[in-house]
Amino acid sequence: MVYLKREIGISIILCSYNGEKKLLPTLRAIYQQNVPQTIHWEVLFVDNNSSDNTLKIVHEHQSLFSQSAIPLHILKENRAGKFHALKKGISEAKYSYFIIVDDDNWLAEDYVEKAFQHIHANPNIGAIGSYSEAVFENVPQEIPKWFTKNKERYAVGEQGKDGNVTSRKHIWGAGMVSRTDLYEQLFAQHPSLLFDNDIEDIYVAEDTEFCLRLILKKYELHYYSDLKIKHFVPDDRLSYEYCRNLNQKIENSFKIIDLYHGVSKLLSKKYQNPFEKKRLKIMTLLRYFCTLNKAKKQRNKVLMGFLYPSSKFRNKCIARLDAFLKDNSLVNPNVEDHY
């Protein structure tokens, strides 16, 4: 496939499903951005098949973008799920870089400028994460302990120390900065395992899968605390039931995400040693049959699929991920040690 080189600049991809109650401050934070004239940028709003007044609100505020000379393009994606909406926005993006903005994210006024500067300065960066501050609809007298414990799953807080955070294996999608052509290339010939498989559409962890694909292709994940967003948390999300359901959805994604972690383990320097790899094959086999822990059994099952290609553990998803891994056309051209 031939990809047209996009213009240097940055596209905001704003996806929303029934976001009428959250959207106004998000839009306001975008059209109030302070962006130097030397940086070209645009906004693509993707309506993910909303049934409320989301589209009406966006149309009503188009004039504010026009007054600020900010191109605003309104798109529609009928397939459910942020992955499909994001993919639609990226396919229409004009510029070389993009920022993911959810309908409950409020960008700091210098976000576009700093995002551009960070990613434009280093070709090895695959994606950049930001600092996220929770803004509660009604501030509780005491923040629940379960929220603090799970705040990363709410995309709230820090994502490490400034600089290279590739060892974290992921950064969250809210506020993520990345490369437009690269995103398209990573999914064009090798569709998502989360959203294009024979099991089910899981609807979460699209950001994690993207990050893991970047890492497998030798790109780095970075975090910069001077990129700041506020993440609105409505009352209905500050409940233990919501948190429990969120965790369950994320855990459901592990059946796919564990495939990426499994192959990442096999690619580590330790297992390039033939003796260590043979030892791993034997130990994984023993652990699979001896453990009673479901999570550990699942992880060992994944490794078995890679270590024993002709076994019953080699399913379609593993085969597809193996094909992705062996596609050297996707490897970061700035590194020498291709697979």
Q: Do 28 and 171 belong to one domain?
A: yes
Q: Determine whether 150 is exposed, middle or buried from the number of CB atoms within 10 Å of its CB (0-12, 13-18, 19+).
A: middle
The answer to the question of residue 278 being in a domain is yes
Q: Do 216 and 305 belong to one domain?
A: no
Q: Which domain holds residue 310?
A: 260-330
| Tokens representing residue 134 in the block | 């929770």
Q: Do 234 and 314 belong to one domain?
A: no
Q: Do 222 and 298 belong to one domain?
A: no
Whether 238 and 147 have beta carbons less than 8 Å apart is answered as yes
User: How many residues are recorded in the chain?
Assistant: 339
The answer to the question of residue 251 being in a domain is no
Q: Do 289 and 176 belong to one domain?
A: no
The answer to whether residue 228 scores a pLDDT higher than 80 is: yes
Q: Do 140 and 222 belong to one domain?
A: yes
The answer to the question of residue 246 being in a domain is no
More confident residue, 309 or 91: 91
Q: Residue 31 is part of a domain; what is its CATH number?
A: 3.90.550.10
Span 83-142, pLDDT tens digits: 999 999 999 999 999 999 999 999 999 999 999 999 999 999 999 999 999 999 998 888
The answer to whether residue 52 scores a pLDDT higher than 50 is: yes
Q: Do 229 and 294 belong to one domain?
A: no
Rounded Cα gap, residues 185 and 120, in angstroms: 19
Distance (Å) of CA 283 to CA 266, 289, 303 = 13, 10, 11
Q: Do 116 and 204 belong to one domain?
A: yes
Residue 300 has a CB neighbour count (10 Å cut-off) of: 23
Q: Do 264 and 224 belong to one domain?
A: no
The answer to whether residue 198 scores a pLDDT higher than 70 is: no
Count of domains forming the chain: 2
The answer to the question of residue 146 being in a domain is yes
Give the residue from 209, 241, 273 where a domain finishes: 241
The answer to the question of residue 336 being in a domain is no
Q: Supply the pLDDT for residue 275.
A: 92
Q: Do 189 and 323 belong to one domain?
A: no
Cβ-Cβ contacts under 8 Å for 64 (sequence gap 6 or more): 27, 31
The answer to the question of residue 248 being in a domain is no
Q: Do 323 and 218 belong to one domain?
A: no
The answer to whether residue 77 scores a pLDDT higher than 60 is: yes
Task: Give mean pLDDT, residues 60-80.
Answer: 91
The answer to the question of residue 250 being in a domain is no
The answer to the question of residue 249 being in a domain is no
Give the residue from 241, 271, 298 where a domain finishes: 241
Give the residue from 182, 212, 241 where a domain finishes: 241
Q: Supply the pLDDT for residue 92.
A: 96
| Tokens representing residue 211 in the block | 């990050």
Please report where in the chains the tokens 């302990």 appear, as a residue: 145
Q: Do 269 and 326 belong to one domain?
A: yes
